[in-house]
C-alpha cells in the first residue's frame, strides 16, 4: 500500500483526484491539503510515497513547497497552466496532468508511478527543482528558519554571499541559508536589481552608496548598512553598466 497526499487549493480538483483513485486500491489517501503550508506539514507527518500537487496556490507555490521538503516524495503535477507544466516537467516529473483530465489520463499517470521506483522519483524531483523556475516566482525567496518558514521579498535582500554548499541571504534582520548555488540566484533574481559583483557576492544595487578602489584592479561596494562587498574587475564592469556610470 502506497500513501498519497493531495495538495490543491481547489476543493473540486481534490475531490476529482480522490474519485479517480478509487480505481487504484493500492494507493491510500492519507491527507488532502488546500495550500502549500498544509501540504508541507502533511508530508512531514505522513511521509507519503506520492503526492498529487497543484502549482499555483495561495501563500506559496507547489515549487516553493517542494524546496522546503528534505526528502521529496514522488510527484504527479496537476495544473491548468500548460505554458510551463508541459515544457518544464515532461522530462523530469513522474507525470503532469493538465486540467481538466479524465480517468484514462489519470490512470496512465498512476501507472508511471507504479512502474517507477521511489528513489528515481526523488532524484527526478530534485532535478526538476534545480532546472525549472515558476514564472513570476522570482519576486520572493522561501527559506526555512528553524521550524518556521520565511518568505523574503527580493527587495528586502541586501546581498547574497556564497558559503560552501549554501548561499547566505542577507536582510536587515540578519541572514538566512538556502541550499542553492550562486549561479541559480544570478539567473533567478531580477537582473535590473541584482548584480553578481564577485564570484562570491550578488548585491542589490539599490543598497550601494559608493564603490571604492581596493587592491590592484579590484573594488569594494559600500552598502547603506555599512557592509563591504567585494567587486571583481568583471563585476565592476557589470555594475557600471547597470548603474549607468
- For residue 243, pLDDT over 90 is answered with no
Tell me the average pLDDT across 221-238.
94
Tracing cell 550578488 back to the chain, one arrives at 202
**pLDDT greater at residue 212 or residue 135:** 212
Lowest mean pLDDT among 1-5, 29-33, 67-71, 186-190: 67-71
Tell me the average pLDDT across 139-146.
83
Tell me the average pLDDT across 9-20.
96
**pLDDT of amino acid 26:** 95
Tell me the average pLDDT across 142-168.
88
**pLDDT greater at residue 176 or residue 66:** 176
Give the integer Cα–Cα distance in Å for 40 and 69: 7
Single out the residue of 36, 38, 22 nearest to residue 110, CA to CA: 22
pLDDT (tens digit, 9 = 90+) per residue, 69-122? 878 899 999 988 776 565 445 536 788 898 999 999 999 999 999 987 544 444
pLDDT (tens digit, 9 = 90+) per residue, 166-188? 899 999 999 999 888 999 899 88
Q: What is residue 196's three-state secondary structure?
A: strand
Q: Retrieve residue 102's grid coordinates.
A: 479524465
User: From the centroid of its chain, how far is CA 34?
Assistant: 19
Residue 238's Cβ-count burial label (10 Å; 0-12, 13-18, 19+) is middle
Backbone angles phi, psi at 240, to 5 degrees: -60, -40
What percentage of the chain reaches a pLDDT higher than 70?
A: 87
What is the helix (H) or strand (E) element at residue 139, kind and residue range? none
Backbone angles phi, psi at 29, to 5 degrees: -75, 115
Q: How confident is residue 131, by pLDDT bands cut at 50, 70 and 90? A: very low
- List, in sequence order, every beta strand (DSSP E) within the chain: 2-7, 27-33, 50-53, 74-79, 95-98, 140-145, 148-153, 159-163, 166-171, 174-178, 194-198, 201-204, 208-213, 219-223, 228-231
Give the integer Cα–Cα distance in Å for 123 and 193: 33
Residues in CB range of 176: below 8 A, 6 or more apart = 143, 145, 150, 152, 168, 169
User: From the centroid of its chain, how far is CA 156?
Assistant: 18
Amino acid at each position: 500500500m502506497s500513501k498519497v497526499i493531495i495538495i490543491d487549493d481547489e476543493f473540486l480538483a481534490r475531490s476529482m483526484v480522490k474519485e479517480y483513485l478509487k480505481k487504484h486500491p493500492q494507493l491510500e489517501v492519507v491527507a488532502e491539503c488546500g495550500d502549500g503550508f498544509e501540504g508541507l506539514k502533511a508530508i512531514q507527518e505522513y511521509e507519503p510515497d506520492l503526492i498529487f500537487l497543484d502549482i499555483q496556490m495561495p501563500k506559496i507555490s507547489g515549487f516553493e513547497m517542494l524546496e522546503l521538503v528534505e526528502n521529496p516524495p514522488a510527484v504527479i503535477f496537476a495544473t491548468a497552466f500548460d505554458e510551463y507544466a508541459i515544457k518544464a516537467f515532461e522530462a523530469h516529473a513522474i507525470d503532469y496532468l493538465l486540467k481538466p483530465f479524465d480517468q484514462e489520463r489519470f490512470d496512465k499517470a498512476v501507472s508511471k508511478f507504479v512502474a517507477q521506483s521511489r528513489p528515481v522519483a526523488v532524484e527526478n524531483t530534485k532535478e526538476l527543482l534545480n532546472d525549472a523556475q515558476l514564472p513570476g516566482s522570482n519576486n520572493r525567496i522561501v527559506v526555512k528558519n528553524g521550524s518556521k518558514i520565511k518568505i523574503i521579498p527580493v527587495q528586502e535582500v541586501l546581498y547574497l554571499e556564497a558559503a560552501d554548499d549554501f548561499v547566505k541571504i542577507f536582510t536587515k534582520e540578519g541572514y538566512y541559508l538556502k541550499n542553492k548555488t550562486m549561479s541559480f540566484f544570478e539567473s533567478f533574481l531580477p537582473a535590473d536589481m541584482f548584480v553578481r559583483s564577485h564570484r562570491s557576492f550578488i548585491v542589490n544595487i539599490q543598497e550601494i552608496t559608493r564603490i571604492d578602489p581596493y587592491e590592484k584592479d579590484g573594488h569594494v561596494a559600500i552598502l547603506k548598512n555599512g557592509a563591504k562587498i567585494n567587486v571583481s574587475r568583471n563585476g565592476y564592469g557589470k555594475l557600471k553598466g547597470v548603474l549607468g556610470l
